[in-house]
Structures are given as C-alpha cells and as structure tokens.
Structure 1
C-alpha cells in the first residue's frame, strides 16, 4: 500500500526546508545556527491506538500522552522512554521483584583511563540503577591503574585486561569482539541484563530500571530530529554495515546500548562479524562499530528506545524537550587523547 499523498508531500517539504536552512546556516553562520533551526522539524506523534498498548515488565503501563511534544513510540510499537512517561517507583519495584543483577561495561584504554574513568564510575554509583545489584566490568590494558571507588551494597567492580590496539578506531571496533567473549563467560553468568557504555561521559540524573528491556537502543543526541535520508548511516554498498537510502528507522548512538545477555550476544556477534568482513575487504565503515550497530537494529528492532535525555551532549545547547538529562557527554579532547 502506498503512503498517503499528504504525508509523502509533508516529508518532502520538511526535507527541502531542512536542506535549504542547513546550507544557508552553514554558509552564513556556521553549524550552531543549523542546530538552532533544527527544533522546527517535527518529531512525529505516537498514534493513540499504540499509546494504550505501551507497557513492559520494567515500567508497567506507560503514560505517553504526558509528553505530547515528542515521539514516544516507534512504528513497531516499542516505547521511546522520556522523562514523565513512566513512574520511577513502579519501575524500581518491578526490578526488585525480578531479583536482577545488572551489568555495566566500559572500556578505558590509553589516556581515556586517567581522563574519564573515575568520574564515570563515581557518578554511576550515584545514579545508575540505584538500589539494584550491579556489577561493573572495566576493560583496560592497565588493570593496576583503575582507581579505587567506594561501592554500595550489592555492587561489585571487575577489571578485565585487554590488548592495547594501535589506533583508536581499532579500540572502538575491537570492543564488540571483546564484549561477545565476556558475555559468553563470567559477565554472562553474573548479569541478567547488561548496558554497554563509552567512558567519556558521566551520569547527571537517575538512570534506572525503566531503561531495561530485552534489547535497548539509544537515540543519538545530534541526530534525533533529522529526516531519514540525512542520517549518517553507512552508504558504501560494499560494507556489511551498509543501509540503502530508504532503510533505517532512527540513528542510534553506540555510546549506550543494552539488553539481555542473549540479545547482546546476538548483537555483538553480528557487529564483530561485519567488522571482520569489512576488514577482509579492506573497508572501514564510516562510524566503525556504530555503523554496524545501526545495521543490526535495522534488521532486529530494539524492544525499547531511550530518548536523548539518556545520553545528552551539552554542546547542543538547551532544548525544551530535554527535561532531565541522565547521562552527559564529557568534553572531548581528541587531540590530547588519541594517538
């Protein structure tokens, strides 16, 4: 069935408006003006028939109508979690009833260890799954340099040694292979659900059980309003991560993803396999493991999507729809941190 003509014209209209304003902004003022104009792009509306069905084992019944200014569901019926659409007390109770252990993995390699790891772990203790059993897994080539952090009851820290890669891109891409092995080992035996995060960020607000699901993807803070054809998917048809121009749902950020152990084993296996296929062909996807993660979530839709409140970049500036940032990007100092 072909899409309704008025909807098709509306998409074309907004795409053309965005292109025109973007080019004008870049020519006259630079990137910041483009970000300011981006708020004019509508995010879409969750259909009322879908609203009444939004619930899961970690949040109970959701209240998507509490946030009419943002998109609160996907086309396949998964919730997009924004502040205000769930009851945090209900989410906490449901997690406690299931007697869960939640894993949180992070890679701290090279100068990233000294620059970011302590703050990441300290703020995680304050805000990540408070009241739940948590096991942190830190992957680093220098286990002795991992800072000591005071941990609350039922929370543990494990340090796993990894090899130092020659390039930062290789560190990024090797983590899928490393995570897959860990999920098949002690991490997979200890944890019920696992979140995988980048180290160059820090917690600012409660990141609780409302984020849990069989598979969880994170909307990218810089791209959540952009039309499909302008999203930075891999477009080289030779790459295992490639998506056609009409493929893709949202652009997801590899700085945060999660799910059950079984779901993450499938995700990491897919990404590691795609990265190896590209390497054998002499290719490297535009955004490395993130490109392959986006291909996976196009083929295997996530059960839950986290709004940009769960991984926000302060450089974007204030946005009316960002009520309560949970995780913030730390300042990037690539010229100092990357060899």
Structure 2
C-alpha cells in the first residue's frame, strides 16, 4: 500500500459502498458500473468499497460470476483517472473463500479487505479470528461489524479486543446500528493501545454525524465513514465530513451539525427502509441513484428485491424536505451561515 494511503485512512475520509449497476435483464451494465465509480471519484470521495453489502453479497457466489469482473471495472476506472483513492474489497468467509477473494483483490490492486466476521456463520470466534489472520497475510484488514438485520452477528468486547491484537488490522467499520455495541468496539481499540494505528469508521447509517463528532473515552474517535448512505448524495457527504473534521478539536460543536445529523438519519430511514427491517435498502439506494441520473433502473440480482410498500413516497418526502443533503452548494452555504468552518483535507488532523 502506498505510504500516503495509510495516512489518508487514519486521517478519515468518505468511502461510499459501491452499488451494482444492472440492465433490465439483470446482467452487469458495464457502462453504468464505470459511471458509478467516476461519480464517486468526481464527488471527492477518498475511497471506494466494492464487493460489499451494497454491491449485493450474491456477487460472491461463483455461479453468479461477478466478483472479479466488478472489482476489475472499478480498478480500471481509478487507474484510468490516476486516482490515489483507498481501494477496499469486500471479502466473505469462511476462511478458504475469504483468502481466495483477498488474493483476487490484491491482484487487482486493492489496498484493504473489508471482512465481515459474520460471514463465518455460527463458527466459534477463535475460528473466525484465525480466518481473519489468514486473510491478513494477503491484504491488510478492514474489519466489519455488520448489523444483524441484514445478516450480521453480535460480537462482544472480548472478540474485538482480540481482533485488535492482529497487526494486519488497519481499520474497522462499526455498523451494528447499536450504541452499546459501537462502544464495545471503541473501548476495545482504546484498551488495545493501537488507537494511533487503527482507524475507526462508522457504518452506522442511522447515526453518521453523532459518530463523527463524538470524542470517545481516551481520545478515540471515529474518523470517517464507509457507508451505503454515502453511495448517494456523495458530494454533500464529502462536504459535511470535511466540515465535521474541521471542528472535532473545538470545545463547541455548532448545533446545526446535530440538526443536519437528525435530518440525515430521517433521510436514511427512508432510503434504507428502516420501517420494514431494511428489506428495501439496496433498491432504495438504486432508486435515489436513478433520480440522480446515474443508474437506469432499480434492478437487483434477486427479482424479489424491490422497494417496500410506501418506501417510494418516503424517499420522495425526504428528497423534497432536505435539498441541502443532496446539493453541495446549498449545504456549504448553510454551514457557513451557522459558523461551521471550512477546511481542505491537508488541514485535517486525526
């Protein structure tokens, strides 16, 4: 990994979880897939994560045959642009598959393997940790605490404390959608003594701003986000992250950030279909991307995966209610009016 990239990871950045562009026949739409990658690049994201939940875990099935092609398309677009972005590849267990996928990702130039510990199923935690260590011999690890509603599994403080003993672990995405479990991970990192070398990223799409502005015990902070929510309205997400990072060392957090945080949670509830247990999460992301003109349709690999009843109306509501969340210029003006300072990435400190 380029020496500059680990520092970018530690400083904190916006990493969209990259969706999958399909045709109406549910085949890979290569042109739209490349356009998605360019969209995140042009929006100012600091990285992309692909092969993750938002990309649809079904691509990991060999019978689908899309894992390597999708990772390759994103890598080609970033190479063509000469972009020094963090390249994160989703990797699923159990161990044999996880190592194989990490090897494929490494061969395509990816920097980190985002490994969902829950993808080992109900295996003993010792077996999962051994599998993660094996992956870490191929690529540095970006740990992933996935919420149970979309296939995750609860892990307590002891698991995370042992995970941070693996020197190959460089970051963790905390996405249990649960404050108690989020603090388990934060506390484990603080106790490990590795807070200066492992970055925490929020995957809690329901509490993005809260996670980013909170100074946790012993100075530990969540410095960035790797989020499905960042797959849409990415320009505004980059602007908001930059503004938050500019005030994290301030004694006073501007109240407008808390207001925007609540608005973003409301918007996310609609896009992710919280009312129906997140069943319409991926179609919701696709629907917004269609409205933005990036995707041609909401199609998922599973024909049954569609918007839930009433979800489209909810997305329309938040689209109209919060234009600043999807327009960087308006968000910049709003934050400036409330005294939230701007900062370029070079001015940010962990």
| TM-score normalised per structure 1 | 0.28
Higher helix share: 2
| TM-score normalised per structure 2 | 0.28
Q: Which has the larger radius of gyration?
A: 1
Higher strand share: 1
